[in-house]
A and B are shown apart, each in its own frame.
Chain A
Amino acid sequence: MSNTIHDMGGMHGFGPVVGEPSEPPFHERWEGRVLAMQRAMGATGLWTIDGGRASLETLPPIAYLAASYYARWFLGLERRVVAYGLVGEDEIAAGRSLRPGIRLNRKLTLEDAKANRYTRFDRPAPAPARFKPGDPVKTRNINPTTHTRLPRYARGKLGTVEAVRGCHVFPDSAAIGAGDNPQWLYTVVFPARELWGEAADPAIRVSIEAFEPYLDPA
């Protein structure tokens, strides 16, 4: 879903930002285990990073806000392993395995973990880029019930293409199992006044990373 609580840009009411001096990588041991399980299960290739994000976005808003970052990841991972038939609801309830696992095409090994490779999301371009730096564009006013990476605050707004970032996996497609559907990616910059109205500070500009299907010529 796209118009859910995760899309926070521009919301009021969450209070001040408070830092923590000398913050450790993890506050509790379980947080590290969640991160590791998330990485390892992601490496199976059964779902994409966008599919993972989409499952977090389907958490009820109250649950999303109440959960810490790693708790949210855990809730999403638990949902996903059940949804993909890897683990049964009965096993989650029992807290242990009740039958052998299904065969995976890929499994993260210790050597993989040592190499700590990052996934690439760039893809060969199926067509030339439609826009170039300096082009005026208008973002589309879309409200899909599936995943998108066009934030609400930047829909239907006039901006300028600042950079072409290559051709990448299109999250809106990948999240729903519709394949990579590679699309050109652009940095599109907006004056704060275009996003937030005339009272906004003229010294502020905000950019998003926008996929070509989010944009029309302006």
Chain B
Amino acid sequence: MAADDHHSHEHGSELSDLQLRVKALETILTEKGYVDPAALDQIVENAETKIGPHIGARIVARAWSDPGFKRRLLEDASEVVNSLVGFDPVAAHLIAVENTPSRHNVVVCTLCSCYPWSVLGLPPVWYKSAPYRSRAVIDPKGVLAEFGVKLPPETEIRVWDSTAETRFLVLPMRPNGTDGWSEDELARLVTRDSMVGTGLAKSPSELKR
């Protein structure tokens, strides 16, 4: 997917043409007083350094450790997360969905690429790609297999298509063998993909490798 959808066409002259057009548009918008380049720099910095899956991982680790926090997270994720994440208020419509032994959740946006930026950062290329957007709703088991996720056949697969401004954060299952771990230690087991539903949290042995 990465090769077909996002890279092959960007090499060579088309890439430089696009780069030039982007630069020209920024020049025009700046000269006309519509944008402040310092504000643009700040937005890029936010995306590169402030938001990211480390925020979601902290939330998941806290939910694994604190049953009261988990209950409040599943009731109203926006409110709970806003009180935990100091950097900025998250989107007002965050919904946490819990994986259990009988149900596995997967998140997609078939119509564009809606993603919980405030807790996971920018979406990866595969999430925005045509293969994922087209197949997650009709062949979620096939997609999960490509990510190396194997579940018992009777496990319900629940796909959430993000067709409005609500955003979904998957609460993965806590791995076995982590009793007594601190929140910081637990957070290291929580991958981005496990919070989208295309992965599981790492096991303690995977963490060592």
A and B: bona fide binding partners: yes
Among A184-203, those with CB < 8 Å from B are 185, 187, 189, 192, 195-196, 201, 203
B205 CB to closest chain A CB, in angstroms? Answer: 19
A149 CB-CB contact with B under 8 Å: yes
Contacts of B5 in A (CB 8 A): 14, 65, 68
Q: How far is the CA of A205 from the CA of B147 in the complex (A)?
A: 20
Is B46 at the interface (CB under 8 A from chain A)?
Answer: yes
B3 near A18: Cβ-Cβ < 8 Å? yes
Q: How many residues of B contact A (CB 8 A)?
A: 91
Contact of B111 with A153 in the complex, beta carbons under 8 Å = no
Q: Given contacts A17-B129, A205-B157, is CB(A113)–CB(B89) below 8 Å?
A: no
Contact A8 B133 (CB under 8 A): yes
Q: Of the candidates B10, B47, B91, B158, which one forms a contact with A205 in the assembled complex, judged by CB atoms under 8 Å apart?
A: B158
Determine whether A115 belongs to the interface, using a CB cutoff of 8 Å to chain B: yes
Residue interface bits A4-19, CB-to-B below 8 A is 1, else 0: 0011111110111111
- Chain A's closest residue to B6 (CB) is A68
Q: Which of B12-35 contact A (CB under 8 A)?
A: 15, 18-29, 31-35
Q: Give 1 or 0 for each of B72-112: 1 = CB within 8 Å of chain A CB.
A: 00000000000000011111110100000000000010111
Whether B155 is near chain A, meaning CB under 8 Å from some CB there, is yes
Out of B34, B89, B164, which one reaches A171, CB within 8 Å? B164
Selected from B93, B95, B132, the residue in CB contact (under 8 A) with A17 is B132
Other than the known A14-B5, A33-B22, A68-B9, what 18 A-B pairs have Cβ atoms closer than 8 Å? A18-B3, A32-B47, A53-B112, A86-B34, A87-B32, A92-B28, A95-B20, A95-B24, A115-B88, A121-B93, A121-B165, A165-B95, A187-B160, A203-B153, A204-B159, A207-B160, A208-B161, A208-B163
Where the two chains meet, the residues of B that have a C-beta atom closer than 8 Å to any C-beta of A are 1-7, 9-10, 15, 18-29, 31-36, 38-44, 46-48, 50-52, 87-93, 95, 108, 110-113, 118, 121-122, 124-126, 128-138, 140-141, 143, 146-147, 153-166, 193
